[in-house]
Amino acid sequence: MKNKLIFLIVCTIIQMSVHVGFAQRDPSKEILVFFNEGVQREARYENGVETMRSFVKSERLKSALTRLGIDERALEVASPTFREADTLTIMPDGTRLTQANMTKLFRIRVSEGKSREELIEELNRLPEVLYAEANGTTMSLIVPNESFSGRYSEQWALQRIQSEAAWDIYTGSPNSIIAIIDGGVDVGHEDLSAKISGGVVGWGWDGHGIHVAGIAAASTNNSRGIAGVDWMLIYILDGLIIQTMLALIML
């Protein structure tokens, strides 16, 4: 019983230290550096656990880093689980997929009082450095909640044009106005009723106009129906294509 209690205490301490260490990290004060040469990582065992440590093997580079105020201990392995063998993946059909050797990517903590931007410029001047850039945090791509309760999963076209990546940047504008020249639109449709302004109401061409209007600007993130390309747009003018063509001929 005593041994089990000691084991639980040790596990708790390790878990707390991991969380504290993670909480103390601030990506906004870090730099990612990809070294062509001069730095390598090596596995070391501490208390029976394998950890990856950085090692500057080039004296010239070590001197340059010291001049910049970067101690060897400030270099952290950015991708400890990556192995050189991971740079090449052969798919079942024989396709060879390659990626950068992330064993050469390291993370540097910027000391208090130092400019991260200036340090990045200095690091990029070193011949051993392929690139140095600011670290940061990322957020997952925006996915409308229609993916859970609507029909977004059926909208292959939006996924084909990588709309989620675009929505991460811009979801549309309420000041935009579009015209759907088609077979008419259902003003009572749950995804369109709040957006239709004037024009022709109808189900012409088996609802083709409704379909097109929905893809363009259906009410989105409302947990029903489908997603539109422009989430924010509030004015859809619709008309029959025959009437529009007649108007153009009369001009």
Q: pLDDT digits over 152-202, tens only?
A: 888 888 888 888 888 888 888 888 888 887 777 777 888 888 887 765 566
CA 8 – CA 14 distance, rounded (Å): 10
Pick from 115, 109, 112, 111: nearest CA to 135: 109
11-29 pLDDT, tens digit per residue, is: 444 444 333 344 467 888 8
Among 2-6, 16-20, 60-64, 215-219, the range with the most confident prediction by mean pLDDT is 60-64
Among 22-26, 43-47, 81-85, 201-205, the range with the most confident prediction by mean pLDDT is 81-85
- Residue 131: Cβ within 10 Å count: 13
Q: Work out the mean pLDDT of the chain and round it to a whole number.
A: 78
Out of 144-148, 214-218, 240-244, pick the least confident: 240-244
What are the structure tokens assigned to 125, written together? Answer: 């001047």
CA 116 – CA 129 distance, rounded (Å): 16
Which pLDDT does position 85 carry in this prediction?
A: 87
